[in-house]
Chain A
Amino acid sequence: MSERLVDQLKGGLDAPICLTWELTYACNLSCVHCLSSSGRRDPRELTTAEAKAVLDELRELQVFYINIGGGEPTIRRDFFELVEYSVANGIGVKFSTNGVAIDAPTARRLASMDYLDVQISLDGLDAATNDAVRGEGSYAMARRAMDHLAEAGFGPFKISIVVTRHNVDQLDGFKTLADSYGAQLRVTRLRPSGRGAETWHELHPTNDQQRQIYRWLLGQGEQVLTGDSFFHLNALGEPLPGLNLCGAGRVVCLIDPIGDVYACPFVIHDQFKAGSVRDPGGFARVWRHSELFSSLREPTSAGACASCGSYDACQGGCMAAKFFVGLPLDGPDPECVGGSADTALAAVDRTAVPRPSMDHTRPVTLLRRKPARI
Chain B
Amino acid sequence: MRGVLTVSLDRAYELHPQVALRPEPFGALAYHYGNRRLVFLRKPEVVAVVRGLSGHATLADALRAAKVEERRWPSFLKALSGLETSEIVRERASG
Contacts and interface: CB of A to CB of B under 8 A. Distances in A.
Q: Verify that A and B bind, or say they do not.
A: yes
Nearest to A62: B22
A114 B34 CA distance: 9
Interface residues of B, number: 15
A5 interface: yes
A13 B24 contact: yes
Nearest to A18: B38
Interface of A is mostly: loop
20 contacts: A1-B26, A1-B27, A1-B43, A3-B26, A5-B40, A5-B42, A8-B25, A8-B26, A8-B42, A13-B25, A14-B22, A14-B24, A14-B25, A64-B20, A64-B22, A64-B29, A64-B33, A65-B36, A115-B33, A117-B36
Contact of B36 (A1, A3, A92): A92
Interface in A1-32: 1, 3, 5, 8, 11, 13-15, 17
A282 interface: no
A17 B29 contact: yes
B31 interface: yes
B29 A13 contact: yes
B23 interface: yes
A62 B20 contact: yes
A14 B27 CA distance: 11
A135 interface: no
Given A5-B40, A64-B38, A14 B33 contact: no
B41 to A, nearest CB: 11
Nearest to A14: B24
A62 B23 CA distance: 9
Given A1-B26, A5-B26, A64-B20, A17 B42 contact: no
A239 interface: no
Given A5-B26, A8-B26, 17 more contacts: A1-B27, A1-B42, A5-B40, A5-B42, A8-B25, A11-B25, A13-B24, A13-B25, A14-B23, A17-B29, A17-B38, A62-B20, A64-B20, A90-B20, A92-B33, A92-B36, A115-B33
